Amino acid sequence: MIYEYRVYEPHPGKMDALHARFRDHTLKLFEKHGIKNVGYWTADGDEYSNRLIYLLGFEDTGHWERAWAAFGSDPEWLRVVEESEADGPLVARVFNTLLTPTDYSPAL
């Protein structure tokens, strides 16, 4: 299992809409494409306070590539993006890193 650490920095005033999109659509669509929802977080009182931070799980890098390709071309996802961004994009910047557990990690 590998994990993907992702951080979304929304445009000013768009965090509530971003949370709604994840809550109402994105998590279900991730599951549909075999992407494991590990967890979602926000931070208080520091440089990350206006960011959505989350962790996804994949079997391996091949699964990661296939799952993101399928998710990105899913007609339902494309519709959700179009509707949720009718007043402009929600996310200004995305950061992501693939994480491979060490041989001593409890995540194995």
Per-residue pLDDT reduced to its tens digit, 14-68 = 999 999 999 999 999 999 999 999 999 998 877 777 899 999 999 999 999 999 9
Query: Per CATH, the architecture of 2-99 is what?
Result: 2-Layer Sandwich (3.30)
String of DSSP letters for the chain = -EEEEEEEEEPTT-HHHHHHHIIIIIHHHHHHTT-EEEEEE--SSSTTTT-EEEEEEESSHHHHHHHHHHHHH-HHHHHHHHHHTTTS-SEEEEEEEEE---TT-TT-
pLDDT band, residue 108 (cuts 50/70/90): low
**Predicted pLDDT at 88:** 96
Q: Average pLDDT, stretch 80-93? A: 97
Task: Write down the pTM of the prediction.
Answer: 0.92
